[in-house]
Structures are given as structure tokens and as C-alpha cells.
Amino acid sequence: MHAVEFLKQIPDQIPPVTVLSGGQRHLKQSVLVILKKLVINDDETSLTSFTGRDADLQSVTDELRTMSMWSDRRLIIVDDADEFVTKYRSGLEKYVEKPSKKSVLVLNVKTWTKTTRLAKQVAASGLDVDCSELKGPQLLKWLQDSAKDTYHQSLSRDAAVLLLELVGDDLGMLDQELSKLATYVGAGAKIEFADVQTLVGGWRTETTWAMTDAARDGDLAFAIGALDQLLTAGEAGPKLLGGISFVFKKLAQATDLSRTMPLDQALRQSGVFPQAVPASQAFLRRVGRNKAEQILNRLLATDGGLKGGSRLPERIQLEKLLLELSGSI
């Protein structure tokens, strides 16, 4: 099962062999907290950890079969265990067939091939927790669920999307920001877009939104000035592009939807905030459908350029994008 599912439906008992696979460190740490609680009741004297690179199977199995003086069970963890699993696969297969009943072995690996005999054994009699990275809708759902389950707050979708734009997909950092936001809005309140904008983004985020609004409204002098201020302050080009894309992708989607519905309805359905609908309507009518339909292409071209596809400095690429998006060229 995936770690998200495990953390929502924690089993009553942990089998003698558990595998944590994947590269999402925050999920692994969260699962390990549960395992320590269930297996040894957080008694650190009943916990032994090995580093897979240095461990040998004999030492690990000796620990697994050694009874604790202070607890009914022991928890033995082999971290970075990919090399360990490869080297001692045959011995691990034999151990899984007849494991110690009083200990739990945890293999913490990055990769776990489901078709191997060992993986099939663990799937049949042990516990296989997938701690792989969360992406797209799955990551967005995790963020909103975490706000509700961990911090007892409601996180609006727009606020969640903005948080991902500002922080990225590192779950540990996202959890830290959720904690700060929950404290900021207070018990029982809903975390909204403006809360993320104020608390997480600070003045740089405020300036980014002012820049995109100015480009949308045709005030290029202000937009270019704001861009200069942000770059001078050390803001990275790709991050600035993320803020620009957050706004203009919605306008591109609305352009496409407007073929089958009124423009104001298309803007709302695309996620444009109600207070920004009139200005967004004016923008799309000013630049015309042909230029509006090029928004996504222009964003993608700039993204490729900032990733090494262009020899132009970041500043020039972003200035050109603002000119293009505003309808000036």
C-alpha cells in the first residue's frame, strides 16, 4: 500500500518484515513514527538501526533474535538497504519464511522490484509501504488532507495550488508551512489564498502578483520595474515564471473554454478569482483570441529557455515574456 493509505488506515498489528520503498523522506519518517509506536511503544532501548552499506546479515538476524530486557518486541531498521538487499537476497528470503516472532525487521530502500521472490514473500506475509513521491492531483489531495487531519484546518484549493507553486513538492517543507498557516489563521478558520500569499510568499510574492496584474492590464513600465526589483533581490527566474504561469495559465484555459460558454463564466470555471474576472475579461478582449491562444506556447518556450534552451540572460527572457503576454508584441 502507499504510505498515504497506511497513515490513514493504520493496522493494529505490524508483521515481522516491513519494507519502506521510494524516495519521499517525509513519508518514511511519518511511517517510522507509527512503527515505533506500535512495535516498541517508543522505547528506544528496543530499537537498533543499521546502515545497509555496513551491515551484514548475520549481525542483523542476531539482533532480530535477541530478546529485549525491557520490551516484548524489538524493532530492527536497516537504512539505505538497497545494497544490503542485493547482497543478502537469498538469506533474506529464508528469513522471511521463518522470521522472529518477537521482532520486526524494517528494510528502508529506494527501489523495490515487485517481481522478485523476496518482494512477493513480503507482499504475502509482511508489509510493503510505498513511500514514492507524490505528484499532481495526488500531491494536492495530500496537502489538503494534511491540513484537515493534522492541523484541523480547511485549505482552499487555490491556497493549496499557490502553496505548491511557492514551496515545491517537498512534503517536509510543505508540512512546516501548513503548521505556520494553521497557527496564523487560528482554530476553526479556513486557510485561503490570501493567507498563503501573505505568510508564505511575503513581499516577493506580493510583488510577483503586482507584476503579473500590471502585465495583464498593459502597464508594462510597472511590470518591468517589478521584475527588476525581484531579480535584483535574488529571486530565481524559474520561480518568477512559476508565479506568472499561475495567473496566465488560467487565462489560457478560459480562452479555450470560451468557445462553448460566455467569457465571464469561462474565467470563473478556470479558477480566476471573482474580483479579477472584470480585469481578465478586459485583457482577453484587448489582446484578441489569436494572441490569447498563444499564451501556453509562450510560457512553455520561456520555461525551456530558462532551463538552458536559450543563451539570453534570464532578465531578457522574462522581459520578453511580459511583453508578449501583455499583447505588446
Give yes or no for residue 278 having a pLDDT over 90: yes
Q: Residue 261 in 3-state DSSP? A: coil
pLDDT (average), residues 111-129: 95
For residue 76, the cross-strand partners are 48, 105
What's the confidence (pLDDT) of residue 5?
A: 93
pLDDT (average), residues 134-152: 92
What's the confidence (pLDDT) of residue 260?
A: 95
What's the confidence (pLDDT) of residue 166?
A: 77
Q: Rounded CA gap, 283 and 262, in Å?
A: 15
What's the confidence (pLDDT) of residue 268?
A: 92
Give yes or no for residue 80 having a pLDDT over 80: yes
pLDDT (average), residues 137-148: 93
Percent of the chain at pLDDT exceeding 70: 99
Nearest to 162 by CA among 203, 207, 209: 209
What's the confidence (pLDDT) of residue 26?
A: 92
Cβ atoms 324, 298 nearer than 8 A: yes
Q: Out of 3.30.360.10, 1.20.272.10, 1.10.3720.10, 3.40.50.300, which CATH number does the structure's domain 196-325 have?
A: 1.20.272.10
pLDDT band of residue 154 (cuts 50, 70, 90) is very high
Give yes or no for residue 273 having a pLDDT over 90: no
pLDDT band of residue 203 (cuts 50, 70, 90) is confident
Cβ atoms 324, 299 nearer than 8 A: no
Cβ atoms 181, 196 nearer than 8 A: yes
Mean pLDDT (the chain, rounded): 92
Of residues 328 and 107, more confidence is placed in 107
Lowest mean pLDDT segment, chosen from 16-20, 33-37, 194-198, 317-321? 194-198
pLDDT band of residue 112 (cuts 50, 70, 90) is very high
Q: Out of 1.10.3330.10, 1.10.10.10, 1.20.120.1730, 1.10.8.60, which CATH number does the structure's domain 136-191 have?
A: 1.10.8.60
What's the confidence (pLDDT) of residue 44?
A: 86
H or E segment to which residue 21 belongs: strand 17-21
Cβ atoms 240, 230 nearer than 8 A: yes
pLDDT (average), residues 122-150: 93
What's the confidence (pLDDT) of residue 168?
A: 79
Q: Rounded CA gap, 241 and 238, in Å?
A: 5
First to last CA, the chain: 52
Cβ atoms 314, 306 nearer than 8 A: yes
Residue-wise pLDDT for 236-272, tens only, equals 999 899 889 989 999 999 999 999 999 999 999 998 8
User: pTM for this one?
Assistant: 0.67
H or E segment to which residue 321 belongs: helix 314-325
136-191 matches 196-325 in fold: no
User: What's the fold here for domain 3-130?
Assistant: Rossmann fold (3.40.50)
Phi and psi at residue 259, to the nearest 5°: -70, -25
Residue-wise pLDDT for 11-25, tens only, equals 888 999 999 999 999
Say which amino acid occupies 142.
Answer: W
pLDDT band of residue 161 (cuts 50, 70, 90) is confident
What's the confidence (pLDDT) of residue 2?
A: 94
What's the confidence (pLDDT) of residue 148?
A: 92
Count of beta carbons in the 10 Å neighbourhood of residue 168: 12
Domain coordinates in residue numbering, the chain:
3-130, 136-191, 196-325
Q: Rounded CA gap, 323 and 216, in Å?
A: 10
Exposed/middle/buried for 307, CB within 10 Å: 0-12, 13-18, 19+?
Answer: exposed
What is the DSSP-derived secondary structure letter of residue 146? H
What's the confidence (pLDDT) of residue 199?
A: 85
CA dihedral 152, 158, 160, 162 (to 10 degrees): -140
pLDDT band of residue 200 (cuts 50, 70, 90) is confident
Of residues 275 and 252, more confidence is placed in 252
pLDDT band of residue 190 (cuts 50, 70, 90) is very high
